[in-house]
Amino acid sequence: MSETPLRDVFGKALAELGSLNPNVVALDADLAGATRSIHFGKAHPDRFFNVGIAEANMVSIAAGLSTCGKIPYACTFSFLITLRALDQIRSQVCYPHLNVKLVGTNAGISGFGDGATHQEVADLAIMRAMPGMTVVVPSDEVTMRQAVLQSADHVGPFYLRVPRVPAPVFHSPGSPFAFGKGVRLREGVDVTIVAMRM
């Protein structure tokens, strides 16, 4: 198992992406330390916006930035982005098919330390039901980094699900990565385990 929490991998990869692409901007709803978007904020302070505890407004701002050629990454806890900002996601991002990257950290039950209200397992069902939304759930730190770096090239609504905790490493750093492709980790006799990249 890796010792690096996947939210840390996300934050560092986002900062790296910001160095590679000057159109990338990041927004956070007053949780930059927890989502790890703080790495982007420190590396690119002129392209980082803390909008406060205003998730719906954050998504609306991201939608507006995307119409100006920017590639916005709107970051907050998964339960906040999928429940508090859902109307904006559906109406202002998905229906017009805008190029907005939504990042839900502490996803699933990985935010166990914050209690039941901060755990979100419905985010996958919610985001998969949004029109035109691409949902990506990286399995380890290798695929998390690759997903972040490649996400800027994907045009359209995009949801990245980021757990808070470390995960076992399944993929070697040089392994091929593509959205929407399955990967056979090994052949099985009774069961075959397949990691899907959506």
Q: Distance between CA 2 and CA 171 in Å, rounded?
A: 12
Q: What is the reported pLDDT for 170?
A: 84
pLDDT tens sequence across 14-47: 999 999 999 999 999 999 999 999 999 999 999 9
Question: Which pTM does this prediction carry?
Answer: 0.89
Q: Distance between CA 146 and CA 151 in Å, rounded?
A: 8
42, 74, 93, 107, 151 from 178: Cα distances, Å: 29, 22, 23, 22, 10
Checking if the pLDDT of 1 tops 60, the result is no
Q: What is the reported pLDDT for 192?
A: 61
Fold for 6-196, please state it.
Answer: Rossmann fold (3.40.50)
Measured on CA atoms in the order 11, 14, 18, 20, is the torsion positive or negative?
positive
Top-confidence residue, 37 or 122: 37
Q: Distance between CA 42 and CA 84 in Å, rounded?
A: 27
> Contact 104/82 with Cβ under 8 angstroms?
yes
Per-residue pLDDT, averaged over 183-194, amounts to 69
Checking if the pLDDT of 196 tops 70, the result is no
In the annotation, is 3 catalytic? no
Checking if the pLDDT of 113 tops 70, the result is no
pLDDT tier for residue 190 given thresholds of 50, 70 and 90: confident
Beta pairing, strands 48-50 & 24-28? parallel
Q: For all residues of the chain together, what is the average pLDDT?
A: 89
Q: What is the reported pLDDT for 197?
A: 47
* Annotated catalytic residue within 55, 120, 141, 187: 55
103: Cα within 13 Å, side-chain hemisphere: 34
118: phi then psi, degrees, rounded to nearest 5 = -100, 5
Q: Distance between CA 8 and CA 12 in Å, rounded?
A: 6
Q: What is the reported pLDDT for 139?
A: 87
Beta pairing, strands 182-184 & 194-196? antiparallel
Domain ranges for the chain: 6-196
pLDDT tens sequence across 150-178: 999 999 999 999 988 888 888 888 887 78
pLDDT tens sequence across 52-110: 999 999 999 999 999 999 999 999 999 899 999 999 999 999 999 999 999 999 877 66
DSSP 179: T
pLDDT tier for residue 198 given thresholds of 50, 70 and 90: very low
